[in-house]
């Protein structure tokens, strides 16, 4: 009986460690994605400034620069979609891990209830 109790406690410890690792990875991914989004937004702003400067000189170049700006905006939209997908996946993983840990706790309670 003691061995089973120890195994269950070790399982709970492993589950907690997995939760901690998942949270750390999620935070790193979100920070990385936010940094990329900020960089892309900065590029879009720079491209728009270039458009304003170039408008005065040549109208043909403006079309090219505007196309670049539109492409950058599309990249931002895609990055935002990726962020949403990552957040949804993370939430699902966390819920699964929490459910698994709750099941482990139920096993512990049942085990100790049977022991007494």
- What is the per-residue pLDDT across 91-103, written as a single tens digit (0 to 9) for each? 777 777 776 666 6
pLDDT of residue 5: 66
- Residue 62 falls within a domain, yes or no? no
Is residue 44 within 8 A of residue 76, CB to CB? The reply is yes
Tell me if 92 is assigned to some domain. yes
Q: Specify the residue for token string 């399982």.
A: 11
Domain that holds residue 23: 2-41+74-115
Greatest mean pLDDT among 20-24, 29-33, 44-48, 60-64 lies in 20-24
Q: Tell me, yes or no, whether 8 lies in a domain.
A: yes
Number of domains composing the chain: 1
* CA–CA distance, 42 with 72 (Å, rounded to integer): 10
Per the domain annotation, does 13 fall within a domain? yes
User: Does the pLDDT of residue 26 top 70, yes or no?
Assistant: yes
Q: Which residue has the higher pLDDT, 87 or 46?
A: 87
Please indicate, yes or no, if residue 49 is contained in any of the structural domains.
no
**Residue of 32 and 44 predicted with greater confidence:** 32
User: Does residue 58 form part of some domain?
Assistant: no
Tokens standing for 30?
Answer: 């979100």
Please report which confidence band the pLDDT of residue 9 belongs to, taking 50, 70 and 90 as the band edges: confident
Whether 47 is covered by a domain: the verdict is: no
For residue 61, tell me if it sits in a domain.
no
- Tracing tokens 């949804």 back to the chain, one arrives at 88
Higher-confidence residue: 35 or 48? 35
pTM of the model: 0.35
pLDDT at 56 over 60: no
Mean pLDDT in the chain?
67
């Amino acid at each position: 009986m003691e061995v089973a109790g120890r195994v269950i406690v070790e399982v709970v410890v492993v589950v907690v460690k997995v939760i901690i690792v998942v949270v750390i990875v999620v935070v790193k991914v979100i920070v990385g994605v936010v940094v990329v989004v900020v960089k892309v937004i900065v590029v879009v702003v720079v491209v728009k400034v270039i458009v304003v400067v170039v408008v005065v000189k040549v109208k043909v170049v403006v079309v090219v620069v505007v196309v670049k700006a539109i492409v950058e905006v599309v990249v931002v939209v895609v990055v935002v979609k990726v962020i949403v997908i990552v957040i949804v996946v993370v939430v699902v993983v966390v819920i699964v891990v929490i459910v698994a840990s709750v099941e482990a706790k139920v096993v512990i309670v049942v085990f100790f209830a049977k022991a007494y």
